[in-house]
A and B are shown apart, each in its own frame.
Chain A
Amino acid sequence: MALLELKNVSKHYNSTTRALVDVSFAVGEGEFVSVIGSSGSGKTTLLRCINRMIEPSGGEISFGGIVLSGLRKRELRRVRTKIGMIFQQHNLVERLTVIENVLHGRLGYKSTLAGALGRYTREEKRQAQEIIEMLGLKDHMYKRCDQLSGGQKQRVGIARALVQSPRMILCDEPIASLDPGTAKIIMSYLRNICTKWGITLVISLHQVDVALSYSHRVIGFQKGAVLFDGPPAGLTPARIAEIYGSDPVDMVAPLAG
């Protein structure tokens, strides 16, 4: 059975702009899926609809057999603990240390008081330390995040997602603001997480070549609709041109993505 399933999901912000149009696909456990498309094609909206950071306008999304659309706040929070998220801008609390930011990944499991006070168990701290070491950040564990480089910050972001013990991680353009060398390191960490830990990855990417070389499967988006869904081998240059469109109107599309 698929871990993640989208059925006819749509999203419109107003009557004229439709960010997602009738999107349907399923992702199996342990898959590495890249979502590609030009800016404004709906990649970010798609990812954010999956964990309901953005409320879809229609359709059904299920994760691990649970339909997300009807969930109450508390139930939704419980599902979200199993879905990690990594952002282009890292979205760390810059003034806190690496380990504090990583431990934020445990908040979803905590009571209101324990979480607000930041009381983590010894086991949680040990686990966070282990993940930080695994990502090569051992020397930076007690450094404030505003002292880290972009690549290091993104690794903290990955650690924060991993400490959730997620079944799936959504990565929203995780390498868009990194230099090519650092981007490569981040991508290989992500691939490791998928193959060694068996965590499902859904990752939106700008760079087609990266998507082709790392993922099991590529989903091509254009104007909020799925244009291609299949293994990288099936993605011919003609198809890529189709996804990115030669239409100059695309270049000035609204920056919803």
Chain B
Amino acid sequence: MPDDFFIRRRRRTFLLVSALTALVLASIAITQYDVGRGFSSFLKALLWGLSNFYPDAGSLRRLPDILQKLRDTVLISIASTFMAALFAMVLALAGSRTTRIHAAFTVIARGVGSLFRNMPLVAWAMVLMLAFSQTALTGFLALFLGSIGFLTRAFMETIDEVGENVVDALKATGAASAHIVFQAVLPSSMPQVVSWLLFMIETNIREATLVGFLTGTGIGFLFDVYYKSFNYHAASLIVIVTVVTVLLLETVSNRVRRVIM
């Protein structure tokens, strides 16, 4: 019965919408969130931001300082991304359905990936701070571990997509596993791998700012210092500089992506 089908479909949509509405209302009730005040204070914060949180002439004098810290942050992000990519690639090759030696490796690689990925970066930084105190190394390692988690998963899926066809063909010629990985699997997955790398660098620059608050390094530290000393103009300059950097990087990586596809 076609009529029946449409009635059932409408009923299902109605149920879904009511369930979502109930969820939202329940959340608001439990957390005692005042929706009206939420909106009005957001407006207030916005007005405060516009009247205080902007760079002035005095803050511009601090630009050289800021740029130097920014450079450190960018370099740490790039270094940690590439180091993580190396380890993630090994894990992904071991775990991908296409290249794995045994199914157990998939479970292991997925496990390591999930563990590193699902632990918040800030938590990593805090744990690592116990061992390495407030140094750039702590920030580097936190980004490194988080990136391993994410990239392992991304690379594994990329390699899975390469599929068994090419691998089969080279296996049939008598090629060894190393040959297959370097001559077929990596060339086939290169565009996606580079794409993920660029994405990870962008993400890490944003994350590095946050991690810097805690580890007292890089641009995040500088933001923290200015913010706590009520120098909102300089702090806002840092935000702007970071956003511009990430946007710039995004533009560059988009162009790179188009070239290598």
Q: A91-B166, A91-B168, A116-B181 are contacts. A104–B175 as well, Cβ < 8 Å?
A: yes
Beta-carbon contact of B187 and A96 below 8 Å: yes
Is A115 in the interface zone, CB < 8 Å from B?
yes
Is A138 in the interface zone, CB < 8 Å from B?
no
Is A85 in the interface zone, CB < 8 Å from B?
yes
Is B35 in the interface zone, CB < 8 Å from A?
no
Beta-carbon contact of A78 and B174 below 8 Å: yes
Beta-carbon contact of B165 and A115 below 8 Å: no
Q: In residues 174-189 of chain B, which contact A (Cβ within 8 Å)?
A: 174-176, 178-179, 181-184, 187-188
Q: Inside 8 A of A112's CB, which chain B residues have their CB?
A: 176, 178-179
A249, B233: Cα distance in complex, Å = 78
Q: How many A residues touch B, CB cutoff 8 Å?
A: 34
Is A24 in the interface zone, CB < 8 Å from B?
no
Beta-carbon contact of B168 and A53 below 8 Å: yes
Q: A77-B174, A108-B174, A164-B173 are contacts. A115–B183 as well, Cβ < 8 Å?
A: yes
Beta-carbon contact of B183 and A94 below 8 Å: no
A249, B133: Cα distance in complex, Å = 71
Beta-carbon contact of B183 and A93 below 8 Å: yes
Beta-carbon contact of A51 and B172 below 8 Å: yes
Beta-carbon contact of B168 and A87 below 8 Å: yes
Q: In residues 110-132 of chain A, which contact B (Cβ within 8 Å)?
A: 110, 112, 115-118
Is A224 in the interface zone, CB < 8 Å from B?
no
Name B residues whose Cβ lies closer than 8 Å to a Cβ of A.
165-166, 168-176, 178-179, 181-184, 187-188, 190-191
Q: What residue in chain A is nearest B164 (Cβ atoms)?
A: A91
Q: Which 4 A-B pairs rank lowest in CB-CB distance, beginning with the nearest? A: A108-B174, A80-B174, A91-B169, A107-B175
Give the distance to chain A from B141, nearest Cβ to Cβ, in Å: 30
Is A160 in the interface zone, CB < 8 Å from B?
yes
Q: Inside 8 A of B188's CB, which chain A residues have their CB?
A: 93-95
Is A92 in the interface zone, CB < 8 Å from B?
yes
Q: What residue in chain B is nearest A77 (Cβ atoms)?
A: B174
Q: Inside 8 A of B168's CB, which chain A residues have their CB?
A: 53, 87, 91
Beta-carbon contact of B183 and A85 below 8 Å: no
Q: A95-B187, A104-B184 are contacts. A116–B178 as well, Cβ < 8 Å?
A: yes
Q: A93-B187, A95-B188, A104-B173 are contacts. A87–B179 as well, Cβ < 8 Å?
A: no
Beta-carbon contact of B183 and A116 below 8 Å: yes
Q: List 15 A-B contacts (CB under 8 A).
A: A51-B172, A53-B168, A77-B174, A77-B176, A80-B171, A83-B172, A95-B187, A95-B191, A104-B169, A105-B173, A107-B170, A108-B173, A115-B175, A157-B169, A164-B174
Q: Within the complex, which residue of B166, B182, B191 is in contact with A92, where a contact is CB–CB below 8 Å?
A: B166
Q: Inside 8 A of B190's CB, which chain A residues have their CB?
A: 95
Give the distance to chain A from B167, nearest Cβ to Cβ, in Å: 9
Beta-carbon contact of B183 and A118 below 8 Å: yes
Q: Inside 8 A of B184's CB, which chain A residues have their CB?
A: 93, 104
A257, B168: Cα distance in complex, Å = 16
Q: What residue in chain A is nearest B174 (Cβ atoms)?
A: A108
Give the distance to chain B from A94, nearest Cβ to Cβ, in Å: 7
A51, B174: Cα distance in complex, Å = 10
Q: What residue in chain B is nearest A87 (Cβ atoms)?
A: B169
A87, B173: Cα distance in complex, Å = 12
Is A37 in the interface zone, CB < 8 Å from B?
no
A91, B188: Cα distance in complex, Å = 12
Beta-carbon contact of B187 and A115 below 8 Å: no
Is A84 in the interface zone, CB < 8 Å from B?
yes
Beta-carbon contact of A89 and B175 below 8 Å: no
A23, B208: Cα distance in complex, Å = 64
A188, B168: Cα distance in complex, Å = 25
Interface hub of A53, A79, A85, A116 (most chain B Cβ within 10 A)? A116
Q: Inside 8 A of B179's CB, which chain A residues have their CB?
A: 107, 110, 112, 115-116
Q: Inside 8 A of A83's CB, which chain B residues have their CB?
A: 172
Q: In residues 53-100 of chain A, which contact B (Cβ within 8 Å)?
A: 53, 77-81, 83-85, 87, 89, 91-96
A83, B174: Cα distance in complex, Å = 9
Q: Inside 8 A of A118's CB, which chain B residues have their CB?
A: 182-183
Q: Inside 8 A of B173's CB, which chain A residues have their CB?
A: 80-81, 84-85, 104-105, 107-108, 160-161, 164
Q: What residue in chain A is nearest B170 (Cβ atoms)?
A: A104
Q: Inside 8 A of A108's CB, which chain B residues have their CB?
A: 173-175
